[in-house]
Chains A and B, each alone.
Chain A
Amino acid sequence: MNRTGSLYVTGSSLFHRLDGAVKLVLFMAWTVMTYMFLDLRVFVPMLAVGIVLLITAGIPFKRMAFLFWLMIIFTVLNAIFILLITPTFGTRLTGTDTPVIPVGYNTINAETLFYVLTLSAKYLTLLPISILCIFTTQPSAFASSLNRIGIPYKIAYAVSIALRYIPDLTEEFRSTLNSMQARGMGISKEDGSIKQRLRNLAAVVVPVLQSALHRIDSVTNAMELRGFGTQKKRSWYSGKDMEPMDWTFAVLALVLLGVGIWLKVAMLKGFWYPFS
């Protein structure tokens, strides 16, 4: 993570050149598409397209590997969690029951295993498009794109302030935590009972909050002095006009979303299970 709190990687791929607002539209269409279905036949093609797009964007794999690992760890843990708590959930969706793995109090059935596979694919499908957006959009361009898709510029600016200050505040929180730890007031397991650790946590939160409030004051003053918020609209340093390619992609995203809704309504209504 660099100073601006973003994971932006410079480049000149198609996705780098695409307008931020269009990327946001794509991102939203993709998310809604994924949310609508519980069908492996939808997720596999989407995942494939996503990976192809990722490869063409030319983001070094090293930079985004940690997100993949986090996602995989999360999905696996989530799958185990589901299998242990509701070993026969799949039956509720398909109506059939094919016992496979006995776990003592119940038996995990094939339907649930397939359901967990579908759900994991669903989570993974969400990943490529958000990686594309995060790694190819400049944080300053991001605020102007938010503004372009209709979010009031003050909110967009708040997002940009948040992005700017996340690294600073993380740093500050860490150092406060460390200095408290040095005084024997840490929050890890060795520092005493849960009650004591919570009390120590309180001792960290208060100074961090105080300094955040001071920061609010100084940033507010700086912005007031520069006349922030006096006009109904504002322009952006990194704002660009929409080009034909941007419009093409925006329309494409909406068409895909339309096709998705039609598919959902007409054909792929519920959970897809091929073996029943």
Chain B
Amino acid sequence: MKKSIFQLNTRTVVTIGIGAALYGATSFIGIPVGPDTSLRPAIALLAIFGALFGPVVGFIAGLIGHVLNDVLTSGTVWWGWALGSGITAAFMGLIYVSKGFDPQNGAYKGKHIGLFIFYGIVGIILSLLFSGWFDIAFMGEPSDKLVVQVTAASISNIIVFLVLGVPAVIGFARRNAKVSNLSVNE
């Protein structure tokens, strides 16, 4: 059953906490594909947590996870990129609000997958543009360098999202559909 996305009950609190921990724990791992860029499974986790629990949980979990990971592994918080993680997850979570989509009970249609991919790609590009802008505005980084970084990061995040995130959500929904495929016999 779906509840209002802004209501914080015990389950959402725990989900945010565990989601953030999972994002933080997997952020360090990835397949490097270029300078400062790697294919990180963490992006797929943002997609999954967004789709299963909604944009608000996704945003907070992404933000907290990124901040804690930054603090524990580098000692410095990159606020622009941390907010970027949150924004990505929030966009991916928009699918949760659309009617008839409920992966917890295995309910989804073809158009939901299309929408999910659309939200995800838009979210990734927008959030990385935001992170890049943040670095230019507050850190005083040169814009040309950030164009390179943002492009590389967008491409690798979109790949992970499409190859890992989308299939994982569909797989999760399918698996739940099988379990609930029973009818009441009166």
B55 CB-CB contact with A under 8 Å: no
Known: A89-B142, A130-B77, A187-B31. A158 touches B60 (CB 8 A): yes
* Chain A residue with Cβ nearest B15: A216
Assess the A159–B164 pair: CB atoms within 8 A.
Answer: no
CB under 8 Å from chain A, chain B span 36-65 = 36, 39, 41, 44-45, 48, 60-61, 64-65
Q: Tell yes or no: B122 within 8 A of A by CB.
A: no
Known: A157-B13, A169-B26. 11 other contacts (CB 8 A): A31-B79, A71-B74, A82-B145, A89-B142, A154-B8, A159-B64, A162-B68, A168-B21, A177-B29, A187-B29, A201-B31
| B22 interface residue (CB < 8 Å to A) | yes
Contact of B115 with A by CB under 8 A: no
Q: A177-B29, A209-B48 are in contact. Are A202 and B60 (CB under 8 A)?
A: no
A206 on the B face (CB < 8 A): yes
Given contacts A89-B144, A220-B14, contact A35 B139 (CB under 8 A): yes
Q: Which of B8, B9, B18, B76 contacts A71 (CB 8 A)?
A: B76
Q: Which A residues between 180 and 215 are near B, CB-CB below 8 angstroms?
A: 187, 194, 197-199, 201-202, 204-206, 208-209, 212, 215
Whether the pair A134, B71 counts as a contact (CB closer than 8 A) is yes
Within 8 A of A (CB), among B140-186: 140-142, 144-145, 148, 159-160, 163-164, 167-168, 171-172
Q: Are A205 and B13 in contact (CB under 8 A)?
A: no
In whole angstroms, what is the CA distance A264 to B73 when docked? Answer: 31
Query: Would you call A228 and B13 a contact (CB within 8 A)?
Result: yes
Of the candidate stretches A97-105, A121-129, A243-251, the one touching chain B is: A121-129
Beta-carbon contact of A208 and B22 below 8 Å: yes
A206 and B171 contact, CB distance less than 8 A:
yes
With A119-B139, A157-B13 already in contact, the answer to whether A208 and B33 are too (CB < 8 A) is no
Asked if A158 contacts B20 (CB within 8 A), the reply is: yes
Chain B residues positioned under 8 Å from A70 (CB to CB): 73-75
18 contacting pairs across A/B (C-beta < 8 A): A77-B35, A85-B145, A86-B142, A123-B76, A152-B8, A158-B61, A159-B20, A161-B17, A165-B22, A166-B24, A166-B72, A169-B21, A169-B24, A177-B29, A198-B160, A209-B22, A219-B18, A229-B9
Which residues of the partner chain B approach A134 to less than 8 Å between Cβ atoms?
A: 71-72, 75
Interface bracket on A: 35 or more
Q: Which residues of A contact B79 (CB under 8 A)?
A: 31
Q: For residue B96, give the distance in angstroms from its CB to the closest CB of chain A.
A: 15
Knowing A35-B138, A166-B24, say if A161 contacts B77 (CB, 8 Å). Answer: no
Query: Smallest CB–CB gap between B139 and chain A, Å?
Result: 7
Q: Which of A162, A194, A205 contacts B24 (CB 8 A)?
A: A162
Bound state CA distance, A29 and B112, in angstroms? 44
- The interface size of chain B toward A, counting residues with CB under 8 Å, comes to 57
Kindly state whether residue A38 has any CB partner on chain B within 8 Å: yes
Give bound CA distance, A267 to B138, whole Å.
18
Contact between A173 and B74, CB atoms less than 8 A apart:
no
Residues of A within 8 A of B22 (CB): 165, 169, 208-209, 212
Q: What is B's interface to A at a CB cutoff of 8 Å?
A: 8-11, 13-22, 24-26, 29, 31, 33, 35-36, 39, 41, 44-45, 48, 60-61, 64-65, 68-69, 71-77, 79, 138-142, 144-145, 148, 159-160, 163-164, 167-168, 171-172
In the complex, the answer to whether B164 meets A161 with C-beta atoms within 8 Å is: no
Report the Cα distance A1→B24, complex, angstroms. Answer: 14
Assuming the contacts A67-B74, A229-B10, asked whether A163 and B26 have C-beta atoms less than 8 A apart, the reply is: no
| Minimal Cβ-Cβ distance residue in A for B167 | A202
Asked if B164 contacts A201 (CB within 8 A), the reply is yes
Residue of B64, B140, B164 contacting most chain A CB atoms (<10 Å): B140
Complex: A224 Cα to B44 Cα, angstroms: 29
Residues of chain B contacted by A67 (CB below 8 angstroms): 74-75
